[in-house]
Amino acid sequence: MSANNNYKEISIGEFNRSKILNAAEKEFALHGFKGARVQQIADRAELPKTNVLYYFKSKESLYLALLEDILRLWNSRFDEATVGDDPAEVLAHYIADKMEISRCRPDASKMFALEIINGAPNLNAFFKDQHASWMAGRVAVIKQWIEQGKLVATDPYYLLFNIWATSQHYADFSVQINELRGKPMTRNDFAEATNNLVKLILTGCGLSVPIEFE
């Protein structure tokens, strides 16, 4: 087997590393950093524990590798929005992006939630600064929208918090949601919940809902 065959070449190392990352995401999402067990990560990855520690030198470095991956998920089109854009379009797509993460990467969302609930001990100063300046930029744009009368006066912080809260809830609290609904959320249910949420937030902000979310 060499590089020029039909299937994407993937080394044993890459393959195992990815099995470990997947297993670890699940375990950390269930039990948090302190509660997760290396042995259980190994079991879930179907590898001996020593092998996990061969690829990642410690439980902590495995956790940090995952966390870094997850933070990249947060990027979205909203990052580059400016006052010239249509707030209804931008916010609707931002909400939809967030819902899509909850649907496709619920464990990533849960892991992040646990990290925050834990007091964010592994989010370093660099990330916090970056996050804070992202926030400042987004808040500024929202304020400009309000000044231009494109948006009803509302606190930009609370608006963003509410968007995060509702969209992430579908991942973090999926167990409760499924229990109460009596059935798991399908792709269609997610589409419905997304439209519902877009409508709630946009209407709540005095915006009209883009047709694609009706």
Binding site for DNA (CB under 7 A): 1, 11-13, 16, 36-39, 47-51, 53-54, 57-60
Residue 32 or 210: which CB sits closer to DNA?
32
Contacting residues for 127 by C-beta, under 8 A, at least 6 apart? 71
Rounded CA-CA distance 52/71 in Å is 23
Closest separation between CB of residue 22 and DNA, Å?
15
Binding site residues, its own copies, CB under 8 A: 29-36, 110, 113-114, 116-120, 128, 131-132, 135, 154-155, 157-158, 161-162, 164-166, 168-170, 172-173, 175-177, 179-182, 192-193, 196-197, 199-201, 203-206
Containing 88, the helix (H) or strand (E) segment is helix 87-104
- Pick between residue 13 and residue 204 the one whose CB is nearest to DNA: 13
| Residue located via tokens 């991956």 | 69
Query: Tokens 């579908």 map to which residue?
Result: 170
**Residues 114 and 106 sit within 8 Å (Cβ to Cβ):** no
- Partner from DNA, its own copies, none binding residue 170, C-beta < 5-8 Å depending on class: its own copies
Partner that binds at residue 13, options DNA, its own copies, none, CB closer than 5 to 8 Å by kind = DNA
Residue 56 or 213 with smaller CB distance to DNA: 56
Report d(CA 91, CA 100) in Å as an integer. Answer: 14
The residue among 25 and 172 lying less far from its own copies, judged by its C-beta, is: 172
How buried is 170 (Cβ within 10 angstroms: 0-12 exposed, 13-18 middle, 19+ buried)? buried
